[in-house]
Structure formats: C-alpha cells, structure tokens
Amino acid sequence: MENKLSIGEMAKLRNVTVDTLRHYDKIGLLKPIYTDPKTGYRYYSIYQYEVLGTIKELRKIGFSLEEIKQFLTDRNVKKSVQFLQKSMNNIQEKIKELQNIHKILINRLNNIEHFTNSYQNSDIVIKQFEEREYIQLDRPIDWEDKENLYFGLLELENMIGGDIPVLASNKFGEFIKKEYFDEIRLTSAFPDNLSAYQSQLFILVQDEEPEQPTQKLEKGLYICSYYGGLEREKMLPQFKKLLQYCDNHGYIPISDAVQIMQVDISLTDQYDEAYYEIQIPIQKR
C-alpha cells in the first residue's frame, strides 16, 4: 500500500467530504486506484489529486457531474480548449445574472430608504407617472382573508418571473374603484360595503417579459398619499384627505385609484412599518 492515500486522506487534502468521494466512485467519475477486497477500503494515488482538483473547479463554474465525466474521458488539447471556452461562456452568463440582481437590489434599497426617510402619513404629493404595465390576478381577493391574500401575491409573483423574489419591491398593488369615492367622502367611518370589498390585485411589470398579456395604467397626474399598517381602516383618512384636497384645489379624480405596497411585510414583523401609497389619477377642472 506504499504511496497510496486513504479515502480520508484524499478528502482532507482536497477539502471534500468522504461521502463525496464515495459518490464519485459510485457514478464512475473518480474511482479509487485500489479497493481492498476484504475490507472495502478505498485508496487513491497522489496523481488523482489533480483530477479531483479539476472536478472541484469545474463544479464551481457550473458543470454537471455528467459533463465533467465526459470531459475527463479521452482528453486532448482541442477538447480541453473547447470545454474551457464553454466554461467562460457560463461565467459570462453568471456575471450578467449577478449584475441584474445587483441592479434590482439597489433599486429596492433606494425605494425603501426614500420612503422611510421622506414620507409621513400627512404628506400629499402630486406626481407625474409615465404609462405603467401590469398583470392583474384573474379573481378578486377578500382583504380580510390574509391566507388567500398571500396566495394571490405569490401567484402574481410566479406570473412575472424574474431573478429574485418580488417581495421587498414596490410592484404589488390593488385597485380602489371610483364608484366608492363619493361614499368615502361622506362617511366618518369605514363603509361596511367597502370593508368587505374584494380587492383586485395586480403586479407592475418593469424589466420583466412575462408570457401573460399585460394591461396599462395611463400616464398622467396622480395625487398621492401614504399610510402605515395593514389594516384597511387606516387607508380611509388618507383617502379622504386626498379627495378633500382635490375638491379644494380644483382637481377631478378621473378613474380608479390604486394603492401600491411600497414597503411590504417581507421586510418587517412590525406591521406599522409596512407602507402603502395611494395614487388617484386626476385632472384640472
């Protein structure tokens, strides 16, 4: 057994597990140079050290065990160059994916910091929005049914795809029908029929290319306000303020309002820290 390495010694040299080497033996990727027929102990040659290093390197850059097995069979310079070129292409794809994820995370962090640092419940802001595309859930959701609400959000997230989960973004929203505006203006408490209102959930489409058909929020002026917390009752006073502001300053709400989850509950277990933005499309009288 001179110059032979036990399976434990080989595993330690290359910082892999013994189970990994057993698996490589089982699938024919890296078989020990000798197996004791009496004990079943596996032994490796020091020359297999570099082969194991190659396997580790190729696994790290994304090749499957079957692809590595094919590469290690009848190698030559031409074949190795082609394989390395393929590995370079894989790395370039990963770099592109990571850059995209980095861009998404930067945008989310900027949005969260902007909201936590700039807005309070009493703020009223008039914004100009460009046309926005969205996908709407094909069924209404009862706001009080939290479990069904989260299933709806997950369904929308799956529709839009993307590199990382949509949560912690400002893409989820719901419509508030214009038919309710007059009742909201006049009530001092949350209307009974609105408290049972079935939400029409949607998700904004930005950089994604979903297979489902999209609809559009028209570009134009929107009067906006913000409130914290998940209770729908907290929306009422902010909505009334917006409608009152329109009445006092000569603006007319022209279609359904939307409210967007700007800071969602994936970021906090303190529900008051979750923030919504109400957006009502308006025009001058």
The domain that holds 168 is classified in CATH as 3.20.80.10
Find the domain containing 8 and state its range.
4-73
49 belongs to a structural domain: yes
pTM for the whole structure: 0.65
- Could you say which of 38, 73, 108 is where a domain stops? 73
88 belongs to a structural domain: no
Render pLDDT for 33-44 as a digit per residue (tens, 0 to 9).
Answer: 999 999 999 999
113 belongs to a structural domain: no
258 belongs to a structural domain: yes
Confidence of residue 276 (pLDDT cuts 50, 70, 90): confident
State percent of the chain over pLDDT 70: 85
pLDDT at 230: 66
pLDDT at 244: 92
Same domain, 143 and 266: yes
Same domain, 153 and 248: yes
pLDDT at 269 over 80: no
pLDDT at 29: 94
Same domain, 263 and 131: yes
Same domain, 44 and 148: no
pLDDT at 229 over 80: no
14 belongs to a structural domain: yes
Contacts of 136 (CB under 8 A, 6+ apart): 200, 201, 202, 215
Confidence of residue 193 (pLDDT cuts 50, 70, 90): low
pLDDT at 206 over 90: no
- Tell me how many domains the chain contains: 2
110 belongs to a structural domain: no
**CB atoms inside a 10 Å sphere around CB 213:** 7
Between these two residues, 254 and 86, which has the higher pLDDT value? 254
Greatest Cα pair distance, the chain, in angstroms, is: 95
Confidence of residue 166 (pLDDT cuts 50, 70, 90): low
Q: How far is CA 39 from CA 35, 43, 154, in A?
A: 8, 11, 53
Q: What is the CA radius of gyration of the chain?
A: 29
**CB atoms inside a 10 Å sphere around CB 195:** 13
Confidence of residue 165 (pLDDT cuts 50, 70, 90): low
pLDDT at 1: 47
Same domain, 153 and 256: yes
What mean pLDDT do residues 59-85 have? 85
Residue 255 in contact with residue 181, Cβ under 8 Å?
no
- Could you say which of 73, 91, 111 is where a domain stops? 73
Same domain, 38 and 142: no
Same domain, 147 and 237: yes
Average pLDDT, the chain: 83
pLDDT at 149 over 70: yes
51 belongs to a structural domain: yes
**CB atoms inside a 10 Å sphere around CB 167:** 16
pLDDT at 221: 96
Question: Could you please report the per-residue DSSP string of 117-178?
Answer: HH--TT-EEEEEE--EEEEE-SS-EETT-HHHHHHHHHHHHHHH--SS-STTSS-EEEEE-G
pLDDT at 154: 81
CA distance 282 to 251: 6
90 belongs to a structural domain: no
Same domain, 131 and 196: yes
Render pLDDT for 241-266 as a digit per residue (tens, 0 to 9).
Answer: 999 999 999 999 999 999 988 876 66
